[in-house]
A and B are shown apart, each in its own frame.
Chain A
Amino acid sequence: GAGVSQSPSNKVTEKGKDVELRCDPISGHTALYWYRQRLGQGLEFLIYFQGNSAPDKSGLPSDRFSAERTGESVSTLTIQRTQQEDSAVYLCASSWTGRESPLHFGNGTRLTVT
């Protein structure tokens, strides 16, 4: 079956512009996660959605970052007034309801801010 799909795969934007990154989770997965990975670094947790519960936003680095999720489907990560330090790969993952369930990752969106 289809895995986690992210679009676009690459995005180049000018400093100060807003960007939207999209994630289509695996069908039926109720939990959805966003991570950021800077070049040569590990994954940084950003935000986590679980069903109808309030999202865990504890990893969002600033108020320029926000994310929405429509029901148990598509999610959009928005970065406003982009800065050069926002350049990174943004990874989305999804999982089943059970908290033991492993996360399944997409291949990410590579964002370059010039």
Chain B
Amino acid sequence: DAKTTQPTSMDCAEGRAANLPCNHSTISGNEYVYWYRQIHSQGPQYIIHGLKNNETNEMASLIITEDRKSSTLILPHATLRDTAVYYCIVRALESGKLIFGQGTELSVKP
């Protein structure tokens, strides 16, 4: 599975949009981009995933560049409860499993 690169940490003001970047320059054509988050002392929570089109659900939006070498997770109106570690993962369908990196620690501040 392709490797991803994320900033170690980010801050965001409460009520503002949080934009979390991820680089995956070695992604292959059959690999999806997944985003998860982990709040302290809990298991990871699925957020969203996509292949090449932009995706939106009730939690977030996922913007994937046309060359698929990077993506951005957008939390449109961050709240204090969005403070968590956010993981960007590239997953090949044939491998099944998810390989987690170190993620981005997002701190939402009042």
Q: How would you classify the secondary structure of chain B's contact residues: helix, strand, loop or mixed? A: loop
Q: Which of A42, A93, A102 touches B103 (beta carbons < 8 Å)?
A: A42
Q: How would you classify the secondary structure of chain A's contact residues: helix, strand, loop or mixed? A: strand
CB neighbours (8 Å) of A48 from chain B are 96-97
Interchain nearest-CB distance for A31 vs B (Å)? 7
A12 contacts the other chain (CB 8 A): no
A42 and B102 in contact, given A105-B45, A107-B42 (Cβ under 8 angstroms): yes
Q: How many A-B residue pairs have CB under 8 A?
A: 48
Size of chain B's interface in residues, with CB distance under 8 A?
Answer: 20
How extensive is the interface on chain A, given as a class? Answer: 20 to 34
* Those of A23-63 within 8 Å (CB) of chain B: 31, 33, 35, 42-45, 48, 50, 56, 59
Residue of B nearest to A41 (CB): B102
Inter-chain contact A91/B93, CB cutoff 8 Å: no
Residue of B nearest to A6 (CB): B43
